[in-house]
Amino acid sequence: MKHVVLRAVLQAPPTAADFVVCAAPVPACPAGGVLAQVLFLSLDPYVGARLRGRHMGEPPPSPNVEPIPGAVVGRVLESDAVGIAPGDFVHSMMGAWGEVVAIGPGMARRIDPELAPLSAYLGVLGMPGLTAWAGATKLAKVGSGDVALVNAAAGAVGGSVGQIARLKGAERVIGIAGGPEKCGLVVDRYGLDACVDYKASDWPSGLDAALGGRGVSVHFENVSAAMLAAGMSRLSPYGRVVLCGLADHYQAETGSAQIPIGLIIVKRAQVHGLVVYDFYDQWDAFLREAAPWVRDGRLRIAEDVATGLDNAPAHFEKLMQGRNVGKSIVVVNAE
C-alpha cells in the first residue's frame, strides 16, 4: 500500500513539494482497534498548523516515517474492536494519509451509509459539522431573531454554521467569503441571505449593506483578528462571538492575534472560545439532529474532490491557498 509522509521538518507553511507518496507495509490491526481500507480522506486547514507543531501542542509527524494525520472514512478489513465487524464503515479523526490505516481502541466510530453519503461524515456530519453545531447551538445558542455573521462561509465549518443558524431560525444569516464563486455557493447552495466578497475593495460597505442597519447578534470567527474586529465593530449589545479558529494565523510567522478589550466592553460582547474536541462526546446527539437535515436536503454539501492518494499533496496545497470551493476531500479507494 501507499502512504504520504513529510520529506523533511517544515520550515514554512507546507506546499505539495513537502510531501512524498511512498510504499509502506500494511499495518497490523491494533489490539482493541481496527484496520480499515481508506475510502475518503479529509483535508483540513488545522493540519497545516499541526504539521508544524502549532496545533493544540501536538508534535508534528516524523519526516519519512510517520504518515500525515487526517480524518478518514474507511471500510473495516480487520477488527479487534467490540461492535465493529469487517465490512462495516467507520469514521475516525485519528486516521492518516494512507490507503490502509490502523485505528486504535475507541478511535473509530461506525457510521451508517444509508443515512448520508459516506463522504459527508468528513464534512457536514464530521468534525467541521460538529464544530459548527457546537458553536452555533451550544455556545452562541442561535435562535429566532438572530442576525448571524460567519466568515470562511464557503468552507466546511463556515458553510455549516451559516446553514445551521438558518435552520435554528435566525432572522438573517450573512456570510463572508473570497471571490464570486465561493459567494455564489454560499447564497445559491447553502441558502444564506447574502454573502460579502472580502476580496472586493469596498467589502466593509458591502457588509453594511447586507446588514441593512441591523446589528450582528452572533458572530462566528474562522479567519483572523482583522475579520473579527470587522464583525465585532458591527455587533449589537450583548452580541455573542464564537472564536473557532483563525485560519490566517495558523501559518503566521510572528505575533499573536488579539482582540481589543475595549471593543468587548463597549459592545457588552459575550465571547466564547471553541475547541471541538470537547464536543466529541456529543457526536451522537449531533448526528441525531444533523443527519436528517442532510437526508432532507436542508443541510447541503459542497465538496472539492481529488481522486487517488497521489493527488493528496497538490489538493492540500490548493486548500492551504484557499482555492478549494467546498469541503476538501480525497477519494482514496472507490467504494
Residues contributing to the site for a copy of itself (CB under 8 A): 225, 228, 237, 243-246, 256-262, 264-275, 278
Q: Are 108 and 34 in contact (CB under 8 A)?
A: yes
Beta-carbon count within 10 A of 70 CB:
25
**103 or 127: whose CB is closer to a copy of itself?**
127
**223 or 294: whose CB is closer to a copy of itself?**
223
**118 or 225: whose CB is closer to a copy of itself?**
225
Find the shortest distance in angstroms from Cβ 158 to a copy of itself: 16
Find the shortest distance in angstroms from Cβ 58 to a copy of itself: 13
Q: Which of left, alpha, beta for 176 (phi over 0: left; psi -120 to 50: alpha)?
A: beta
Find the shortest distance in angstroms from Cβ 49 to a copy of itself: 11
Task: Judge residue 37's burial from the number of C-beta atoms within 10 Å of its C-beta, 0-12 exposed, 13-18 middle, 19 or more buried.
Answer: middle
Q: Are 103 and 75 in contact (CB under 8 A)?
A: no
The cell numbers describing 200, all together, are: 472586493
**56 or 65: whose CB is closer to a copy of itself?**
56
Q: Are 60 and 332 in contact (CB under 8 A)?
A: no
The cell numbers describing 256, all together, are: 499573536
Smallest Cα–Cα separation from 290: which of 281, 275, 301?
301
What 8-state DSSP symbol labels residue 161?
Answer: H
**244 or 294: whose CB is closer to a copy of itself?**
244
Find the shortest distance in angstroms from Cβ 279 to a copy of itself: 10
Find the shortest distance in angstroms from Cβ 38 to a copy of itself: 30
